[in-house]
């Protein structure tokens, strides 16, 4: 996935479709029709096909022989894999970012976290959640790593949205607070261990996708 600053037509189409898929506006199994989308965005088929490839890379779409491109369905094994990958890659990014995390950056991360804790709905919370993870990881200065993390985050965000669309209860995110406290005291190993456990929470949920949203207390994505 390209960085959010990608202003090309392909980037615009990819972001729009990803948002619709993640929020559930386009349900799993829905066929993505190239002609319709090209018309909607006033584009040729080329950027639409490229957007489809990016959505596949994010795990949001799947190309099937003779059936075209469809919105990917959920697979609990895949969700667990995404959580494991995110945990490993985000810890790698955090260890490289840690030497560059200034007090100003950590203050911004704290403000973002408080915004999430007071979010009025799940979309506002997810925006803050993603921003929190990105602001403490981006100073790693590893753009390919961050692009992969962004793709994985999109896949896990879709899982969360699917279960949390009908109910909402914001609460304190103790993991985010603990990560910030450890970073401020230069306890990088503690921050990394907390981050890994925090991200793995998503893949540890057994059975079907939850239909109610758990409180954001200690183990939230």
Tokens of 219: 């183990």
- Which mean pLDDT values do the consecutive 10-residue runs of the chain (221 residues) have? 62 90 86 94 94 87 88 82 94 98 98 92 86 98 95 81 58 89 98 95 51 38 46
Same domain, 59 and 100: no
CA-based nearest residue to 91, from 142, 27, 25: 142
Looking at residue 49, its pLDDT comes to: 93
User: Does some domain include residue 185?
Assistant: yes
Same domain, 133 and 195: yes
Same domain, 61 and 169: no
d(CA 132, CA 119) in angstroms, rounded, equals 13
User: Does some domain include residue 181?
Assistant: yes
Tokens of 137: 């990881």
Dihedral angle over CA of 125, 131, 134, 139, nearest 10: -150
Looking at residue 211, its pLDDT comes to: 36
Looking at residue 155, its pLDDT comes to: 81
List the domain range (segments joined by +) for residue 105.
76-204
Residue 78 CB neighbour total at 10 angstroms: 15
User: Does some domain include residue 211?
Assistant: no
Looking at residue 221, its pLDDT comes to: 46
Residue 194 CB neighbour total at 10 angstroms: 24
**What sign for the dihedral angle of Cα 79, 81, 87, 89?**
negative
Looking at residue 208, its pLDDT comes to: 37
Residue 136 CB neighbour total at 10 angstroms: 26
Same domain, 152 and 177: yes
Number of compact structural domains in the chain? 2
Looking at residue 139, its pLDDT comes to: 98
Same domain, 54 and 161: no
User: Does some domain include residue 218?
Assistant: no
User: Does some domain include residue 94?
Assistant: yes
Same domain, 93 and 118: yes
Same domain, 94 and 181: yes
**Which residue, of 71, 92, 113, is where some domain finishes?**
71
d(CA 175, CA 216) in angstroms, rounded, equals 9
């Amino acid at each position: 996935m390209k960085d959010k600053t990608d202003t090309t037509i392909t980037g615009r189409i990819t972001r729009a479709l990803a948002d619709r898929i993640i929020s559930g506006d386009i349900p799993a199994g829905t066929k993505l029709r190239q002609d319709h989308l090209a018309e909607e965005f006033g584009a040729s088929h080329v950027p639409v096909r490229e957007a489809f490839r990016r959505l596949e890379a994010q795990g949001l779409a799947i190309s099937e022989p003779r059936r075209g491109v469809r919105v990917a369905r959920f697979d609990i094994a895949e969700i667990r894999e995404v959580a494991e990958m995110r945990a490993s890659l985000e810890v790698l990014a955090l260890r490289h970012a840690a030497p560059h995390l200034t007090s100003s950056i950590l203050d911004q991360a704290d403000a973002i976290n408080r915004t999430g804790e007071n979010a009025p709905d799940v979309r506002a919370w997810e925006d803050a959640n993603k921003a929190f993870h990105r602001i403490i990881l981006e100073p790693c200065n590893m753009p390919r790593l961050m692009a992969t993390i962004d793709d994985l985050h999109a896949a896990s965000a879709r899982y969360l949205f699917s279960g949390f669309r009908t109910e909402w209860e914001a609460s304190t995110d103790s993991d985010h607070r603990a990560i910030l406290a450890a970073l401020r005291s230069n306890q990088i190993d503690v921050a990394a261990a907390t981050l890994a456990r925090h991200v793995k929470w998503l893949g540890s949920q057994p059975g079907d996708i939850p239909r109610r949203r758990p409180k954001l207390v200690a183990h939230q994505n």
